[in-house]
Structures are given as C-alpha cells and as structure tokens.
Structure 1
Amino acid sequence: MTDPGERLRSSLAADLPPPVAEFDSPIAMEAMRATRVLHAGDQDPFPAPGRIRVVTIANQKGGVGKTTSTVNLGVALSLFGLRVLVIDLDPQGNASTALGVDHVVGTPSIYDALVGESTLAEVTHPTTASPNLRCVPATIDLAGAEIELVSVVAREHRLRRAIEAHLHALPAEERPHYVLIDCPPSLGLLTLNALVAGDEVLIPIQCEYYALEGLGQLLSNIELVRAHLNPGISVSTILLTMYDGRTKLADQVADEVRNHFGELVLSSVIPRNVRVSEAPGYGQSVLTYDPGSRGSTSYVEAARELAVRGAELGPLVPVQPAPAAAPPTAAPPLNALVLGQSVATHPQENS
C-alpha cells in the first residue's frame, strides 16, 4: 500500500511548477498544504455530481470516524465550490458542534422534522465553515425519537420524505449537491431512517481489527433495507480512517478491506492526526482549524475523489414531492431490520 505521506507529496508536487515543487523541509510542505486549503476559492472547483447525492455515513461501531468524516468531507466539498447539507442524526450532536451550530435544548433541530411538523427548511442553520455548507443540528431530544416514532405510520420513511419535500421546495440553483447524513453508532430506528433516506452508504472503517467485526452485521442490514424499504440504497464508498503507518496492523487491515471491497475503497487514507481530534473543541473542522495538517489535506483529497466519482453519475433526476403516507402494513417489522431476522417469518406484515 502506498504511504499516505508519499502520495500527498506527489499530489502537491504535481500541481506546482518545478521550482516550487521541491519540498526541502516539513515546514515548507505544511505551508503549501495550508495555502491550498485557505485559497480553495481561487482553485478549480470540484466537479458537481450528475445528480443530487444523498449519502448516509454509517457504521454501528463507535469511534471509527463517522462524525469526523461527515464534517470534514462536507467542509472540503463546500470550500471547493459545492453546496452541501449536513444532517446530524446523532443525539450527541457532535457534528453540530464541529460546524459551530448551536444544539442546546429548544434549538430547532432534526427532531422537530422527524417527530413534529417542522420542515427541513425551518430547522436548517448556516455554519461557520462555509456559506456553501448548511447543517440540520441534533439536540438531546433526539434520544427519545425512537420511542416516539414507534406508533407513527411509515416511521422508517420520515427522514426520506422530509428530504424529498425540502429538495422539491428549493429552487434548482439552491439545491445542495450533497446531502450528508451522520448516523449514531447503532442499528436502531434513527440509522434505519438514514438508510431509507439515502441513495448511497459511505462506511468509515478504522484501520484496526475490531472495526471489521461488526461490518458484516451492517452490510446485512443494508441488504434488508434494500430488499424491503429502499431498493436504491447501495454501499458506494469505503473510507479508511485512523491509519497509523508505523504499524503493520494498519497495513493488514487496509489490504484486507481493499481486497474485499475493491474499487469501493477510496485511495485516499485518513491518517491518525491530533489536529483532527483537537478541531471540534474549537467548534471547527480540521480544514479551518489547521489547514496545513496532514489530516486536513487527506480529507481534501478524499473529498476530491468522492466528487470525481460523483461527476460520473447519471444526470440529475427531477425531485418529486414526497408521496402520501403508506398504510402501517406496508412497513416490515422494525425488529426484523434491526436484529437481522428475516421478514419472511411475518407474512401478515407483507400481505
């Protein structure tokens, strides 16, 4: 596997004239990385996708970089010219914190759109990172949403219908190119809503053995969702995070993931970098907190790769208004999706 630092050096050098492309010190290299991020608006923008991409960032294991990846990919895409909407679906509200969006109790949030009657437009807030990036925050109220939604008709489709209605109401020139949904570390009803709402799944995988153990359960649940709730969902992207080049284990995990998932795995790898962990404490992404860090540039390269792949998608499909609510019998039992049981054992729900 190519060392991320060497790949980054080659990428930076390729964009510079020969006299400047020679990095004679780590400080010079860091300064050049910071310049590219700070002056993103002066560079060629990332290519727009062929259609609006609704990407669910999911992995039921905690601490693998879901929120960090959601925030930093969103910021990178927005700094390089694309419109992005981040939906924080984790009751902890970490994505909201990193984007500088208030999420105290009482703040209009995704809870009001899922459980209440608010539209996404009413709960969407600007962020401090970029005028192209907006966020739907999560408050602690969201922790009780799974219980409150149990008796709601078509509960698994609440987020999808909210997104469809929001996109349909926006003028074409204001619709986001990317909708990124940050999931909680579980396979409950909130994650299920995110999987039903998304067209693609991006799975961050920490370069450690434990990160692989729960992957099978997640893929099984995605297959159940595709079979019974959202035929269009698919795993489109795998992002390797917390790569530590000093250990053989990181290389072994990365190689195993690449051998299994092939081209789904981004060539860009996110290294372990203390700046990535420090940034949320200042209400920022790593791109705005320390644009010259390796973590910042790695996320820029990952976002660039994500954007290039998106440009190859089909043309934009006109957004239709959300359909009328389906009768309760149309939704398979929640336990069958969350626990991995077969819905075939409940014929009365599928009749």
Structure 2
Amino acid sequence: MCIIAVANQKGGTGKTTTCVNLGIGLARAGKKVLLVDADAQGSMAVSLGVREPDNLDYTIVNIMEKVINEKDIADREGIMHHEEGVDFIPANIELAGLETALVEVMSREFILKLYLDSIKENYDYILIDCMPSLGMVTINALVAADYVLIPVEAAYLPTKGLQQLIKTIGKVHRRLNPSLEILGILLTKVDRRTNFSKDICDQIREVYGRHIHIFENCIPMSIRAAETSAEGRSIYYYDPKGIVAEGYQSLTKEVLKNEKQKC
C-alpha cells in the first residue's frame, strides 16, 4: 500500500480538492482508500459533506492525543465513511492547538506515523491533506508518507515557494524518513485561455522536470471545481463530463501506474 501526503505550504493551490478527487478516483478504480485531514481549517471534511467540522466530537486530534498518551484506539475509531466509497478522518481548529503541544512531546515527528502504521493494512492508499504550512503537523505527515504529491497553482507567487517545500522534503528524507520520495508536481488552476499560465507551466517543467516528475495532464481552472466543496461531493459526481473530472481521471491513472512500478 502507499501513503501519499498532498502538500504545499502555499494555500489556494487546490490541495484539498486534489486529495479528495484523487482519493475518490482511486476508490472508483477499486482501491480501498482512507483520507486523513491534517489541516486545522477542516477543508477536507467540508468537501466530504461535514458542514461544521469545529462541532465534531472526534477528529484526528483525539486520535493523535491517544497515541501521545499511549492509550488504545478501537478499530475504526474516529473513521467516517463517504458515500462515494472512501473512508476519512476529519480535522478541525483544535489541530492548531495540538501543533503547539507537539513541541513538548517525545518523538513528536512520529505521532501520525505510529497511528497510520497500525491501520494501513486495511487500505491500499492513505492520502493526507496537509496544512498550508511547514509546521509540526505537516512534518508528521511527511514522516508517515511514502510519497509527496505537490499541487502547484499555475501562477507566479505559488511557484516561488516551491523550492522551500522541496528543501523541507529533502531534510525529512535525510533525517527522519529515508523512504520518502516526491511522487510528482501537479499543475492546478491552469487557465488555458492565457499565455501566462502556459509560460508558468513551461517554466516549472524546465526548472524541475529534469529531477522531479511533472504529471502529464494539468488541472484546469474551473468554477465547477470550486463549487464541489459546497456540495460535499467529488467532481465525478458534480460534473462527471467536465474538464476537471477529466484531469483528475488522468491523475488517478498516473498514480496507479506508479503503483505498478514502485509500490
């Protein structure tokens, strides 16, 4: 099985949308999938139909606290199920407080890994939606993961922060998780009507493409994709014949191809 962290310290890159639609795409391909919300904003939970994540009684915070305090976690405790075939663990604002508390915890970088290692035999894929930061919870996700998928918006400022993220992934690889690899860079919110987006995409392929896989198909800009979060459903349900669904279908196929080669 594979654990994939979907990460970018810049917000608004389509990170949560990618995590949800890739996960459901893998489930549609017959895979058992768990999505883990590791973002205090709870955006993934909202995208999966949880209207008020801050009102939830049980989230990834409770699970990680049990790991920290060495308490038993019951089978499927805290795991919810979405009608499109994926399991998920939600998060909410309490995760921000846990991030601060982790500073005082022994082996603080390995808390999420300890939990995921105990349940990963139940799944083919676990996808982690990371915070838009490089804090301790994101480091936990990188330590737990086999791969990192990096969504990058096809715009100037988001690409400027890409080098810092790659450096952080390199440090985690060297010091904490020697099996960690970059699965690839996914270009998102690409406006096909403008030469500017095309130039940004070409620049990323030129600068990073020699050393890092760039996914073949990008995710185009689409209002329909933004509307899926309010529906609590994937793009496959909301706009199955649209250009964004086509993009995520292509991404799913590339990830499955990688599974045959490496996982």
Q: What TM-score comes out, normalization by structure 1 length?
A: 0.70
2:148 matched residue in structure 1: 201
One of 127, 137, 140 as aligned partner of 2:82: 127
**Is it true that 1:159 corresponds to 2:112 in the alignment?**
yes
Kindly provide the amino acid, as one letter, of the partner of residue 222 in structure 2.
N
Q: CA deviation at 1:105?
A: 3.0
Give 1:144's aligned residue: 97
Q: TM-score if structure 2 supplies the norm length?
A: 0.92
Match of 1:54 in 2: 3
Q: Secondary structure at the match of 2:95?
A: helix
Alignment of 1:208-227 (within 5 A): 208-227=155-174
Gaps of 5+ in 1: 1-51, 315-351
**Shift of residue 81 of structure 1?**
1.1
Post-superposition shift, 1:101?
4.1
Does the CA contact (< 8 Å) of 1:100 and 1:128 recur in 2? Answer: no
Alignment of 1:258 onto 2:205 = yes
- d(CA) in 2 for partners of 1:258, 1:118: 46
Q: How many residues align?
A: 255
Name the CA distance, whole Å, in 2 between partners of 1:67 and 1:235.
Answer: 18
Larger radius of gyration: 1
C-alpha separation between the residues in 2 aligned to 1:164 and 1:118? 14
140-149 or 87-96, larger mean C-alpha shift: 140-149
**AA aligned opposite 2:257:** V
Contact preservation (8 Å) 1:163, 1:197: yes
What is residue 234 of structure 1 aligned with on the other side?
181
Cα distance in structure 2, aligned partners of 1:106 and 1:280: 18
User: Structure 1 residues 94, 301: CA separation in 2 closer, same or farther (over 3 Å shift)?
Assistant: same
Is 1:69 matched up with 2:14?
no
Kindly provide the amino acid, as one letter, of the partner of residue 158 in structure 1: I
Matched, 1:301 2:250: yes
Q: Whole-Å Cα distance in 2 between the matches of residues 149 and 266 of structure 1? A: 34
Check the 8 A contact 1:110/1:123 in 2, yes or no: yes
